[in-house]
Amino acid sequence: MIEIWIKVIFNLIIAFFLLSGTFFILSSSIGIVRFPDVYTRLHAATKASTLGIAGILIGAFLFLYVSDSIVSGKLLLAIVFTLLTAPVSGHMISRAAHRNGVKPVTKNRTDEYEEAIQKHTQH
C-alpha cells in the first residue's frame, strides 16, 4: 500500500517538473513573438527558456531514477551547461545586433552605449 503511494507521489513530482518546464518554454516562445525588438526578445529567449530546460531535464532525471534506478549524470551536466551558455549567447547576439546598427525601441531614446561609441569615434 505504502509503495503504491510513494510511486504516485513520485509521478506527481515528475509531472510537475515536466509541466512547469514546458510552460516556461511555451511562454518564452510567446514572448519572442510578442516583444517589439531584438533586445527585449532576447530577454524572453535567454531567461525563461533556461528554467524550462532545467525543469524538463530534472523531470527526466527523476523519471530515470524512479523507474530504472539509473543516476544519469549527463542530464545534470546538461543543466549546468545550459545555465553557462544561455547568458553568453544572449550577450553575443545583442552585441552583434548593436554593432550592426539595430536601434533598441525606447521611449526617451536612452542608449548610453550608442553615446559612448559616438564619443569614442569623435576623438
Binding site for another protein (CB under 8 A): 24, 27-28, 30-31, 34-37, 39-40, 42-44, 46-48, 50-51, 83-84, 86-88, 90-91, 94-95, 98, 104-114, 116, 120
**Of 74 and 119, which CB lies nearer to another protein in the complex structure?**
119
**Of 8 and 111, which CB lies nearer to another protein in the complex structure?**
111
Q: Output the smallest distance, CB 55 to another protein, in A.
A: 10
Q: Output the smallest distance, CB 3 to another protein, in A.
A: 30
Please state, in angstroms and rounded to a whole number, the distance separating the CA atoms of residues 102 and 57.
35
Please state, in angstroms and rounded to a whole number, the distance separating the CA atoms of residues 11 and 15.
6
Contacts of 64 (CB under 8 A, 6+ apart): 70, 72, 75
Q: Output the smallest distance, CB 59 to another protein, in A.
A: 16
| Cβ atoms 38, 94 nearer than 8 A | yes
Please state, in angstroms and rounded to a whole number, the distance separating the CA atoms of residues 25 and 49.
5
